[in-house]
Amino acid sequence: MLVQLMPNDLKLTDLEMAVLVEMINKCPTDREVFLQQLRNCQVVSRENTGCGFYTTLKVDSHVLPSESKERQLVQGAHVSCPELEHGAGFILYIQDGYLHMLEGYTFVDDQWPENVSSFKVFFV
């Protein structure tokens, strides 16, 4: 599998930000902590897998971790957009109490688009 690095300007895209906010809002505990982390993070890397991507995050060191230090996965967020016939799904990885990585993936044989013009985030 060929993995390509995507443009990395150390900013979350509008899509990434919208998905992360919605996913964090689904966290019953530590929601405020994760929102604070989101306001104080930067993109470390982006990798395009062809049918999705991984965006690795780094939270500023002055921001506190969540109380739970166990590795967590937040799932269930999906996006509909014109560029992806079957939409996309997302997984948020939380590691050592910090936001760590956002994974986006397509369904069926869709390739991840270079740009997403408009989208709607929903949960299933």
What is the rounded distance in angstroms from the CA atom of residue 35 to the CA atom of residue 116?
A: 24
- Token pair belonging to 82: 């014109």
CA distance 20 to 38: 8
| Alpha carbon distance 32, 28 (integer Å) | 10
pLDDT at res. 2: 44
Res 9: pLDDT: 60
Residue 58 and residue 51 in contact, taking contact as beta carbons nearer than 8 Å = no
Tell me the whole-structure pTM to 2 decimals: 0.90
CB 74 within 8 A of CB 19: no
Confidence (pLDDT) at 121: 97
| pLDDT for residue 3 | 47
Q: What is the pLDDT of residue 77?
A: 96
Counting as low any pLDDT under 70, the low residues of the chain are 1-9
- What distance in Å separates the CA atoms of residue 9 and residue 45, rounded to the nearest whole number? 9
- Paired with 58 in beta bridges are 42
